[in-house]
Amino acid sequence: MIQHQVVWLTGLSGAGKTTISVKVANRLESHGLKVLTLDGDVVRSKREIPLGFSPEDIRVNNMLIIEICQESLPDYDVILVPVISPFADSRANAKETLGNSMIEVYVRVSLEEASRRDPKGLYRDQESGKLQGLVGVEDEVPYQPPENPNLILDTESLDADSCASELADHILGRSQ
């Protein structure tokens, strides 16, 4: 019997949360598990007034995701949550609400490497002044790394496939 799990992936933009989630979802589904992926952007854009990236909006977005996890967990074996979630208090809220069914995964990358990858062009937009308040770049919206995550995936020393295998094994191991 699988234990229903929320796998919360936190890390800078460009860390690899989405890439790893897609690979992990495929792997889990091939084991017959029912998987939901809750991407932060999808939740953000579903609101009547779309949420932005101010610290307040980020906190609201994270709260909404926690609520959706709570509502949806009975229907899924695993919910993957690839969201930057830069604030320790939001992640602590998630843990408090979801309890033992949640694991926190730190998808680690240096700011230098994240801005070199820049898959969405956000660091470039920040540099040129088109975008303000990108998480981890300006003091106004710092990224607070988790102090005690269940798993750290170091995306600078492991490639995406290895990170995904490690996470999938962790999830499958917990579910036995």
Q: Are 11 and 108 in contact (CB under 8 A)?
A: yes
Please give the full DSSP string across 104-155, using - where no structure is assigned.
EEEEE--HHHHHHH-TTSHHHHHHHTSS---TTTSTTS-----SS-SEEEET
* Chosen residue from 6, 7, 15, 168 binding ligand ADP by CB under 6 A: 15
Residue 78 pairs with which residues in a beta bridge? Answer: 5, 35
Least gap, CB of 6 to ligand ADP (angstroms): 17
CA dist 122 and 11 (Å) reads 15
Give the active site residue among 13, 21, 85, 90.
Answer: 85
Q: Name which of residues 116 to 175 contact ligand ADP (CB under 6 A).
A: 117, 119, 155, 158-160, 163
Let me know if 85 is a catalytic residue. yes
In the complex with ligand ADP, which residue's Cβ is closer, 19 or 61?
A: 19
Other C-beta atoms lying within 10 Å of the C-beta of residue 160 = 14
Q: Name which of residues 75 to 94 contact ligand ADP (CB under 6 A).
A: 82
In the complex with ligand ADP, which residue's Cβ is closer, 4 or 114?
A: 114
> Could you give the residue numbers annotated as active site?
85
Sites of contact with ligand ADP (CB under 6 A) = 11, 13-20, 82, 117, 119, 155, 158-160, 163
